Amino acid sequence: GAGVSQSPSNKVTEKGKDVELRCDPISGHTALYWYRQRLGQGLEFLIYFQGNSAPDKSGLPSDRFSAERTGESVSTLTIQRTQQEDSAVYLCASNLGGNTEAFFGQGTRLTVV
Amino acid sequence: SQQGEEDPQALSIQEGENATMNCSYKTSINNLQWYRQNSGRGLVHLILIRSNEREKHSGRLRVTLDTSKKSSSLLITASRAADTASYFCATGGGTSYGKLTFGQGTILTVHP
């Protein structure tokens, strides 16, 4: 695709429900990142996929958070048993790896009520 | 924890003035990047400077990197109201190959 695509753009969910966020990276990009951004805050690293290497999950805040990526394609970020503090914009980015420019999607705004 | 830390947290200037934002980091890096964010959504890449470079220019942007002080600065010259946004530095490489780690950002407001 032309850019990184994230869906849905907005998601409102009830506390305790599970949610899945999707990211379609730019074709050919070997690296994919997920970040969380709370209102007025910086980007909090969540997870990083690079090719066939084991993902760097060091930023996942709890075991309620998980992410998968099949090959160098789509990634899904799953949040189980959502809590109000999970409310944030979740941003996905991809690049060619090797510390090159990263391209961001427009994010998914998650609101847990 | 965040690798890069920007300062100031907020900067307010008049159109035509220059804006300078600083970024400090803690561990060794391969490169440092600057990004811009409008309205809390996707970030746009501005410029990348590698660890063996000291200065880089792109249009009205000038970035410096001092690896001995583990710091970088972003200068926007002749600012415009449209430059109003949040600016983030991101560090990559070093001990975390490829992973980009962002700071808290500087909110820049340019008054017409």
Angle at CA of residue A111, ends A106 and B1, nearest 5°: 70
Helix (H, G, I), strand (E, B) or coil at B103: coil
pLDDT tops 50 at residue B1: no
- Mean pLDDT (whole number) for B9-25: 95
Q: Measure the CA–CA gap between A29 and A97, rounded to whole angstroms.
A: 7
pLDDT tens digits for chain A (113 residues)?
A: 579 999 999 999 999 999 999 999 999 999 999 999 998 888 999 999 988 889 999 999 999 999 999 888 999 999 999 999 999 999 999 998 767 889 999 999 999 99
| C-alpha span between B85 and B64 (Å, rounded) | 20
Identify the DSSP state of B78: S
Name the pLDDT band for B103 (thresholds 50, 70, 90): confident
Residue B41 with chain A: CB contacts under 8 Å:
89, 106-107
Rounded-to-5 percentages of helix, strand, coil across chain B: 5, 60, 40
Give the pLDDT of residue B3: 63
Q: Which residues of A touch B98 (CB under 8 A)?
A: 31, 48, 50, 97-99
Residues listed for chain B: 112
- What is the per-residue pLDDT across B30-55, written as a single tens digit (0 to 9) for each? 889 999 999 767 899 999 999 999 99
| Chain B residue numbers touching A99 (CB-CB < 8 A) | 30-31, 48, 92-93, 97-98, 100
Contact (Cβ atoms closer than 8 angstroms) between residue B71 and residue B49:
no
Mean pLDDT score, B98-108? 87
pLDDT tens digit sequence for B72-99:
999 999 999 999 999 999 988 665 556 7
**pLDDT confidence band for B110 (50 / 70 / 90):** very high
By three-state DSSP, how is residue A14 classified?
coil
Query: What string of DSSP letters covers A27-62?
Result: TT--EEEEEEE-TT--PEEEEEEETTSPPB-TT--S
Candidates B9, B99, B104, B106, partner chain A, best to mutate (most A CBs within 10 A) = B99
pLDDT of residue B2: 47
